[in-house]
Amino acid sequence: MTTKPLNVNEDEIAKFEEVASQWWDLTGDFKPLHQINPLRVQFICQHIAQQFDGIQNLQAIDVGCGGGILSESLAKLGASVTGIDMGTEPLNVAKLHALEMGLPISYQKTTAEEKAVESANSFDVVTCMEMLEHVPDPASVIHACATLVKPGGLVFFSTLNKSIKSYLLAIVAAEKVLKLVPNGTHDHDKFIKPSQLITWAEDFDLKCIDAAGIHYNPLTENHKLIDSLDVNYILCCRKL
């Protein structure tokens, strides 16, 4: 009997291991993530308010949590948060920072697929931000997220559209010209069109109920939610 290989790209894990110490440096490699995080939280909370009485005491899991930027935001708002990732150093940073902030977040080194076997239908809210473009099989992660969420619960996905504009902004501008993130952070071949992501989600009984683009201008540091999904976008799905 053969064991199914983990849905993990070791090279991608290594990239984030190398820069893990910068995760909470607001001027370092993760500065763009810190700047767009309030937009994500705004989008997530808007839909939680429509689906639930509020975020207080909801069971939430942040898939591919990294150093815990979004996990901490959700915990501060009152959710009971679990964060999972396969990077040892990012998780160590996340655990230490949560301890310093007095936030009771449960961080675990595991894949989405492994966690789904262990905790099916356990979470009111599942978030998966900027992670799908870093794994060999994104559809497998989407399936796991659909398994983790309770019926009627919400799943949020954020990733980069496979477009010429996303290549120019996320790779040429952000990595090579402005050096906002390390060179090689992104692979345009692994970017995902919204139509493809929605199709995968629907295959696993997740209905997309809203979508928004995340606009980020690195020169002016202006960031806002927009209608266009041509670069970075976020989806809200409800489990049927």
159 strand-pairing partners: 233
d(CA 15, CA 58): 32
Q: What is the pTM of this model?
A: 0.93
The letter for the amino acid at 64 is G
Which parts of the chain register pLDDT below 50? 1-2
The per-residue DSSP string of 111-152 comes to -HHHHHHHSTT-EEEEEEES-GGGSS-HHHHHHHHHHHEEEE
Per residue in 51-70, pLDDT tens?
A: 998 999 999 999 999 999 99
> What DSSP element (H or E) covers 102?
none
Q: Which of 212, 105, 137 is nearest to 145 (CA)?
A: 137
pLDDT at 58: 98
168 strand-pairing partners: none
Per residue in 23-61, pLDDT tens?
A: 999 998 898 899 999 999 999 999 999 999 899 999 999
Is 184 annotated in a binding site? The answer is: no
Residue 181, helix vs strand vs coil:
coil
Q: Which of 122, 145, 121 is nearest to 59 (CA)?
A: 122
Q: What's CA 140's distance to the chain center, in Å?
A: 15
Is 85 annotated in a binding site? The answer is: yes
From residue 87, give the alpha-carbon distance in Å to each of 3, 8, 53, 107: 21, 10, 34, 11
pLDDT at 206: 98
Angle formed by the axes of helices 69-76 and 88-101, nearest 10°: 30
pLDDT at 222: 79
- In the chain, alpha helices (H): 10-18, 31-51, 69-76, 88-101, 112-118, 138-148, 164-166, 194-203
Is 25 annotated in a binding site? The answer is: no
d(CA 38, CA 73): 9
CB 127 within 8 A of CB 62: yes
Torsions phi, psi for 90 (to 5 deg): -55, -40
Is 129 annotated in a binding site? The answer is: yes
